[in-house]
Amino acid sequence: MALETIDLTAGRLIDQFSRPITYLRISVTDKCNLRCIYCMPEAGLPWLPKSEILSYEEIVAIVAAAADAGVRSIRITGGEPLIRRDIEKLISAIAAIPGIEDIALSTNALLLADQIDELVEAGLRRVNISLDTLREDRFFTIARRAGLADVKRGIQSAIDAGLHPIKLNCVVMRGHNDDELEDFARLTIDQPLFVRFIEVMPVHENAALQTETYVSTDEILARIAAIDDLQPVAGPSGNGPARYFAFPNAKGAVGVISPLSHDYCERCNRVRLTADGRLRMCLFGDQHVDLRTPLRGGASRSELEGLLRSAMAIKPERHHLRLGEPAARMRAFSEIGG
């Protein structure tokens, strides 16, 4: 549909392909306390200077403008968001914004158990937890840090706190953890967990690894279907791109996220705010709008809303990922899923 036929100022935030944009993912830090082999080098990445990172007050100002434009769901991400101090204060401020209906968190859960009470009290409703192995020795090999016991404690704390749904994100890599597919899938039978298997995606730091270890979600589903009858289901509430399947009478479900083999661009309902204030139109592309500069220059709430609406004109119809070719700007796997 031609851009001029869409009213970008009326009610909802709609891109040039008539997709309503209701979901904003916010990176509060580019730093992480793990060094997963598919995500970043062991030494880490060049971190952003503190002066370039948005303050909580700046993030809240952008979310308020986004809510005016029709955004209803927020996900806090990183890097690892729980390493940023007082994150519950940001969640509380966002929860108080009229129009915001859902606040979720993507985390590796190393610090979750110690913060869960404050997060829930602040208004957190859902968590996505990264977990690529159920084995301690393998956890260290993949994450280059210890901590599986802390992650498991974090998962249990989320269950005990009544958060729902609890989604576990597993990046599947042939020769590294694909022999655990069945073990992960069985978690969904007796526990209210939604295990999502994610195709390893090409970032600048892992293009070679991705080519060597890629497992398609078609193969993943075929392998876990051998456990028992696996049927498509609607899945839990949320804003992510996963397709869900469940075993008979299971308390949870298995999901697959397949940016390479079965992309989900036609259903894209999201934009992303980077830690340094760029509104990114696509996880795998370069298209972005600088919000930090006008915000620090005194832009009003209505002016920020106008920038958000005008940004829809550069949101691409789809990404063009190919096996072995790195995505343009993706820095962390915590940015994916929903």
pLDDT of residue 235: 82
Higher pLDDT, residue 146 or 321: 146
pLDDT of residue 330: 46
pLDDT of residue 236: 85
pLDDT at 316 over 90: no
Higher pLDDT, residue 52 or 324: 52
pLDDT at 143 over 70: yes
pLDDT of residue 3: 33
pLDDT at 264 over 80: no
- Mean residue pLDDT across the chain: 87
pLDDT digits (tens, 9 = 90+) for 37-47: 888 777 777 88
pLDDT of residue 16: 86
Residues 6+ apart with CB under 8 A from 208: none
Residue carrying the six token digits 């036609």? 266
Tokens of 158: 């989320």
Q: State the amino acid at position 196 in one-letter form.
A: R
211 pLDDT tier (thresholds 50, 70, 90): confident
pLDDT at 81 over 70: yes
Cα(111)–Cα(284) distance, integer angstroms: 28
Q: State the amino acid at position 297 in one-letter form.
A: G
Specify whether the backbone of 324 is left (phi greater than 0), alpha (psi in -120 to 50) or beta.
Answer: left
Please count the CA atoms within 13 angstroms of the CA of 163 that sit on its side-chain side.
32
Specify whether the backbone of 127 is left (phi greater than 0), alpha (psi in -120 to 50) or beta.
Answer: beta
pLDDT of residue 1: 27
pLDDT at 333 over 70: no
pLDDT at 150 over 90: yes
Cα(116)–Cα(122) distance, integer angstroms: 10
Segment 178-184 mean pLDDT: 97
Task: Name the least confident of 166-170, 208-212, 215-219, 273-277.
Answer: 208-212
Segment 228-241 mean pLDDT: 84
SS3 of residue 304 by DSSP? helix
Higher pLDDT, residue 4 or 135: 135
pLDDT at 9 over 50: no
Segment 151-161 mean pLDDT: 97
Sign of CA dihedral 229, 234, 239, 242: positive
pLDDT > 70 fraction of the chain, expressed in percent and rounded: 84
Residues 6+ apart with CB under 8 A from 291: 62, 273, 277, 278, 279, 304, 307
pLDDT of residue 18: 86
pLDDT at 154 over 70: yes
Query: Could you tell me which of 108, 114, 142, 110 has the C-alpha nearest to residue 128?
Result: 108
Domains of the chain: 3-165+266-335 (3.20.20.70)
Segment 64-93 mean pLDDT: 97
| Torsion angles phi and psi, residue 198, rounded to 5 | -115, 130
